[in-house]
Amino acid sequence: MFEGQPKGLWALAFANTGERFGYYTMLAVFALFLGENFGFAAGTASEIYTWFLTLVYFLPLIGGMAADRWGYSKMVVLGIFIMFFGYLLLSIPLGGGSVAIAAMGAALLLVSFGTGLFKGNLQVMVGDLYNDPQYAAKRDSGFSLFYMLINVGALFAPTAAIKIMEWAQSSLGYSKADSYHFAFAVACVSVIVSILIYYLGKSTFRQVLTVKKQAVKSEEPVEEMSKAETRERIICLCLVFAVVIFFWMAFHQNGLTLTWFADEFTATSSSGLQSMLFDVTNLVAVIIIVYALFSLFQNKTTKSRLIAGILCGAALAHLIYQYNHLPAETAISAPIFQHFNPCFVVLLTPVSIALFGWLAKKGKEPKAPVKIGLGMLVAAAAYLLMTVFSVGLPATDHPNHVADVTPNLLVSTYLILTFAELLLSPIGISFVSKVAPPKYRGMMMGGWFVATALGNKLVSIPGHMWGMDLTIVWGTLMGICLLAALFIFSIIKKLNKVA
């Protein structure tokens, strides 16, 4: 799984991990912050939340076009510094008045613009590592590993946000509303770590830093492609982008309606074995066990197997200790549910790579467009689950706790959505990096994020529906995913021709 990958993958991936940790720490509590600090109603909060996400994922198009002209590394570094100032401004407690609202707006613009310069261009650089023929066959698995490490950062983000807010309230005497700014300050630190990793690891991906510079000096195109083939590839990518819009509309409910569901409808405490799910150290122990077991079977040296066995035993001992010292009850905070998706991504990535590797050896691995279509069907199944188990629950349009649904419902939903994400997101990014015409790589990777941006804007639709019967909210999302799946399977032959 880890063997045969270019060295530069790890430096670029860990630089992204640091940045994503900060972003998801902020995002884990942002929707709740809008209500707590400013008193915004659900509709207003959902508009602010989704416009921010829209900009975060739309601006990589501009960033990609800029990088196609001036170089990817320059835009990546500039983006990190701009993000830092955005998070810094967001971390200053200014109250809930007009000045605070204006400062928040400016901070969100800086964060979104910085992300636009950073995110897509870093992924183009990752894709360039696999232009070397010796790594070409590892492209999909490389992007899966890259995606996994993004989620390592996201895994710890909700816990970091909750713990630092609790510390600010209990030890420093800050109000609940002001304590959110401490979570935002974590993001400032994370982007500093990100830029340090990027610079320290630069020697491992130097070959992709010089590609653009050399092309500009020689004034020669990187690769010739006919106008007809260029047009066909761009059309196929745009068709995939159209489907991706609706996946992200459904998936990014995790920070909005699914968080509201956790806050208003899900039990606020847990006991027994179930409560172990809400301690991130237990999730890390399970992840270590899974990776250690893979290592035991895949590594050929005795030393490697011994290390894997020790790690597996230590992680298992931790879980046993934790179970034997469980408190009678464990409090559950709504943002903590957001650590399940990144946990499942990290946990299931080796399973996904192994499965598709096994199918590839048999010549039966589905092409990227088929995986994307299957991802939409799986996403529909997640909202079918939410629909079925929301029957009989009251509608709500006010931030009060009105029911105590088992936490297992949201955990299961996040698990299913993660299966969908692994079929669609890293595979889709790999597909874009492979199919995009060389002259327009930055722009087309930006196009992937524009599709994501449009999907994130549509996230607000269920937000505005909040207050209706919950089966209508979840049923709408399920239907949209099914229609998107039918669309992509209807054009699958056209897409498979360029895959």
pLDDT for the residue 212: 46
For residue 9, what are its two tokens?
Answer: 């993958």
Q: How far apart are the first and last CA of the chain?
A: 22
In Å, how far are 118, 207, 215 from 202, measured between CA atoms?
15, 10, 20
Cβ-count burial 380-408 (b if 16+ within 10 Å, e if not): bbbbbbbbebbeebeebeeeeeeeebebe
* Domain assignment of residue 291, yes or no: no
Handedness of CA 123, 56, 31, 248 (dihedral sign): negative
DSSP 3-state of 81: helix
Alpha helices in 325-440 (DSSP H): 340-361, 368-389, 408-435
Alpha helices in 201-279 (DSSP H): 206-218, 227-251, 257-264
What total of structural domains would you count in the chain?
A: 1
* Domain assignment of residue 292, yes or no: no
C-beta of residue 308 within 8 angstroms of C-beta of residue 298: no
DSSP 3-state of 259: helix
Residue 224 has pLDDT above 70, yes or no: no
Residue 137 has pLDDT above 70, yes or no: yes
* Domain assignment of residue 285, yes or no: no
What's the CA gap between 412 and 488, in Å, rounded? 26
What's the CA gap between 243 and 357, in Å, rounded? 26
* Domain assignment of residue 430, yes or no: yes
* Domain assignment of residue 166, yes or no: yes
* Domain assignment of residue 284, yes or no: no
For residue 185, what are its two tokens?
Answer: 């300050």
Residue 217 has pLDDT above 80, yes or no: no
Of the listed ranges 212-221, 247-256, 287-296, the one predicted with least confidence: 212-221
Q: Which helix (H) or strand (E) holds 331?
A: strand 330-331
Closest CA to 152 of 332, 258, 284: 284
Residue 223's pLDDT band, with cuts at 50, 70 and 90, is low
pLDDT for the residue 218: 38
What's the CA gap between 207 and 205, in Å, rounded? 5
* Domain assignment of residue 327, yes or no: no
The CATH code of the domain that includes 420 is: 1.20.1250.20
Query: The domain containing residue 90 runs over which residues?
Result: 8-217+225-268+332-498
* Domain assignment of residue 312, yes or no: no
Residue 196 has pLDDT above 90, yes or no: yes
pLDDT for the residue 107: 95
Percent above pLDDT 90 for the chain: 43
For residue 225, what are its two tokens?
Answer: 């492609």
